[in-house]
Amino acid sequence: MRDRLPDLTACRKNDDGDTTVVVEKDHFMDDFFHQVEEIRTSIAKIAQYVEDVKKNHSIILSAPNPEGKIKEELEDLNKEIKKTANKIRAKLKSIEQSFDQDEGGHRTSVDLRIRRTQHSVLSRKFVEVMTEYNEAQTLFRERSKGRIQRQLEITGKTTTDDELEEMLESGNPSIFTSDIISDSQITRQALNEIESRHKDIMKLETSIRELHEMFMDMAMFVETQGEMINNIEKNVMNAADYVEHAKEETKKAIKYHSKARRQSLPRGRHWTAGTLRRSPSSPQSCSMGGCPLLPEQTG
Q: What is the pLDDT of residues 225-282, one digit of tens each?
A: 555 445 444 544 554 454 455 556 556 655 655 665 555 555 544 444 444 444 444 4
Q: Is the pTM of this model over 0.85?
A: no
**52 in a structural domain:** yes
User: What is the widest separation between alpha-carbon atoms in the chain?
Assistant: 149
Identify residue 79 by its one-letter amino acid code. K
CATH at 80: 1.20.58.70
CA–CA separation, 244 and 259 (whole Å): 23
The per-residue pLDDT for 144 is 87
* Of residues 294, 251, 247, the one with CA closest to residue 270: 294
**229 in a structural domain:** no
Residue 40 in 3-state DSSP?
helix
- Total of domains in the chain: 1
CA–CA separation, 35 and 27 (whole Å): 12
CA–CA separation, 25 and 114 (whole Å): 17
**214 in a structural domain:** yes
Could you tell me the residue range of the domain that residue 130 belongs to?
Answer: 29-221
Q: Which helix (H) or strand (E) holds 225?
A: helix 185-264
CA–CA separation, 36 and 56 (whole Å): 30
**63 in a structural domain:** yes
**10 in a structural domain:** no
- What lies within 8 Å, CB to CB, of 175 at 6+ separation is 166, 167
**294 in a structural domain:** no
**299 in a structural domain:** no
What is the radius of gyration, based on Cα positions, of the chain?
40
The per-residue pLDDT for 113 is 85
**64 in a structural domain:** yes
Name which residue leads in pLDDT, 123 or 256. 123
The per-residue pLDDT for 269 is 47
The per-residue pLDDT for 37 is 95
β-strand 269-271 against 276-278: which pairing, if any? antiparallel
Alpha carbon distances (Å) from 221 to 123, 232, 235, 273, 279: 8, 16, 21, 75, 80
pLDDT tens, position by position, 63-90: 877 778 898 999 999 999 999 999 999 9
